[in-house]
Amino acid sequence: MIVGTEWLIETTGCDPDKLRDESLLRIVLGRVVSELGLVPIDSVWHKFPGEGGVTGMIALTESHLACHTYPEHGIATFNLYCCRTRPEWDWQANLTELIGAASVRVTRVERGSHEAAVAGGDA
């Protein structure tokens, strides 16, 4: 039984100034929430001092959405976990447009019990 889907997103070659911009990253996560019809409960944000990046997390009734940015490396990572079926969000197009990502890698993981044993799992 699948109990949820998790998307792990890694971007590289991003615009460092955009990765330091908390208000822009709030807009990015807000678009994910709005376009996927997610229901936010609360959020927590932290802007690291100076040239540092931003960490943000939105608690959702469906689970959570988070981002972590590393402007010094041009990298941003995102994580979305939903316990309800959702359409795919176009991470590639949206993150290229919004944060200037040169490369976007998306890993989708179905969460829940599986028929096959997982390496290192239960004996």
Amino acid (1-letter code) at residue 115: E
Active-site amino acid positions: 63, 68, 83
